[in-house]
């Protein structure tokens, strides 16, 4: 089972790097969907394992919730949010895409060097999984910084939450159930609120370029 989890952690990292390399909003949402499906698969495998070993249904329920929320519901919300926006492809970047991808790779190297110096995270297989999932968090943060459109920040936030969830899964086999449920409720509320805010920004500022949100200074 561990080797499947290794492969899945690699694929999840891969999906976050592919996310950085896209320019169209539809591709962002599609890649996010694939990443969430991979995470649901990971949760499913771990849940199945915990069901057989300890008889607890917690992680399997969490897996089903992920499928409902992140694979089905949230992409639909995102589609609705960006439906009202005029342009669907992001043209303006701070740095060009190959450079962004190489910086993501640099982030993975950085995480590897940091994590390998912390005892308690240092056993063989856990090391690989934790490095990969922690890199997803940093890559999500980087994605948020590298995009000029407000929608990019929403998706970056979602990727950060994905990364945190996988890190929790891989390092501690999940947090207490009530905390998990609370995290999901918080996340979906956050996305709803951010979606409404993006629509309001679009209305008031005529674009979702966050560089135009610079009136308050000092």
Partner 1 sequence: MIALVNNFIQLLIILLLAPMVGGLIKKIKALTQKRQGAPVLQMYYDLYKLIQKESVVSETSSWIFKATPYIVFATAVVGALLVPITTLVPSARFTGDIILLFYLLALGRFFMCLSALDTGSTFGGMGSSREAMISSLIEPSILVSVFTIGLIAGSTSIYEMMGAMSSLGNPLFHPVFILTFLAMMIIILAETSRIPFDDPATHLELTMVHEAMLLEYSGRHLALMEYGAAVKQLILITLVVNLFLPMDQFIALTGAGGFILSVALYFVRVVFIAVLIAVAEVSTVKFRFFSIPNLAALSFILSFLGFLQYFVLGR
Partner 2 sequence: MGLTLWLVPLIAVLLSILIKETKLLHIANVACSFSLVLFAGFTTKIVMKSGVLQYDILGKLYYLDALSVIILDIVVVIGFLVSIYSIGYLNEELRHGEVNAKRIQLFYTLMYSFLFTMILALTVNSIGVIWIAIEATTLASTFLVGFHNDKHAIEAAWKYVIICSVGIAIALVGIIFLHLSSVDVIDHAHALQWNILYDHARELNSPVLRLSFLFIIIGFGTKAGLVPMHTWLPDAHSQAPSPISALLSGVLLNSALYAVIRVLSIVNKNLGDSQFTGKIMIGFGLLSIATAAIFILTQKDYKRLLAYSSIEHMGIITLAIGLFTPLSIFAGLFHMINHSFTKAMLFLASGNILQKYETRKISSIKGLLKVLPISGFAFLLGLFAISGTPPFSIFASELNVFLSVFEDGRIVLGSLFILLLALVFVGIAVTLFRIFFGEDDSEERKPGETNPAGAAVLVLFLIIISVTGLFMPDAMKELITSAQRIIGG
Which positions lie near partner 2, rule CB under 8 A?
Answer: 118-121, 137, 141, 144, 150, 153, 157, 160-161, 164, 167-168, 171-172, 175-176, 178-179, 182-183, 185-186, 189-190, 193-194, 196-197, 200-201, 204-205, 210, 213, 215-216, 218
Cβ at position 26, least distance to partner 1 in Å: 15
Residue 56 or 102 having the CB closest to partner 2:
56
Residue 13 or 41 having the CB closest to partner 1:
13
Residue 98 or 176 having the CB closest to partner 1:
98
Q: Which DSSP helix (H) or strand (E) runs through 17?
A: helix 2-20
Euclidean distance between CA atoms 128 and 106, whole angstroms: 16
Q: What is the CB-side half-sphere exposure of residue 200 using CA atoms within 13 A?
A: 7
Residue 75 or 195 having the CB closest to partner 2:
195
Residue 121: Cβ-neighbour burial (10 angstroms; 0-12, 13-18, 19+): middle
Largest CA distance in the chain: 58
Euclidean distance between CA atoms 100 and 172, whole angstroms: 31
DSSP type of residue 71: I
Residues that bind partner 1 (CB under 8 A): 3-4, 6-7, 9-11, 13-14, 17-18, 21, 96-98, 101-102, 104-105, 108-109, 112, 116, 124, 127-128, 131
């Amino acid at each position: 089972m561990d080797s499947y989890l290794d492969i899945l952690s690699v694929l999840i990292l891969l999906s976050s790097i592919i996310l950085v390399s896209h320019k169209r909003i539809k591709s962002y949402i599609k890649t996010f969907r694939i990443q969430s499906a991979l995470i649901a698969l990971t949760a499913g495998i771990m849940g199945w394992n915990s069901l057989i070993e300890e008889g607890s249904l917690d992680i399997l329920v969490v897996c089903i919730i992920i499928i409902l929320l992140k694979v089905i519901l949230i992409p639909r919300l995102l589609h609705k949010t960006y439906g009202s926006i005029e342009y669907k492809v992001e043209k303006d970047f701070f740095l060009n895409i190959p450079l962004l991808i190489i910086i993501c790779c640099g982030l993975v190297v950085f995480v590897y060097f940091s994590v390998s110096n912390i005892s308690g995270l240092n056993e063989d297989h856990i090391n690989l999984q934790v490095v990969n999932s922690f890199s997803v968090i940093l890559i999500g943060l980087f994605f948020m910084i590298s995009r000029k459109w407000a929608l990019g920040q929403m998706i970056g936030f979602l990727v950060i939450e994905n990364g945190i969830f996988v890190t929790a899964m891989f390092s501690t086999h999940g947090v207490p159930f009530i905390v998990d449920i609370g995290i999901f409720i918080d996340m979906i509320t956050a996305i709803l609120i951010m979606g409404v805010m993006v629509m309001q920004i679009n209305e008031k500022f005529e674009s979702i370029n966050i560089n135009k949100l610079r009136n308050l200074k000092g």
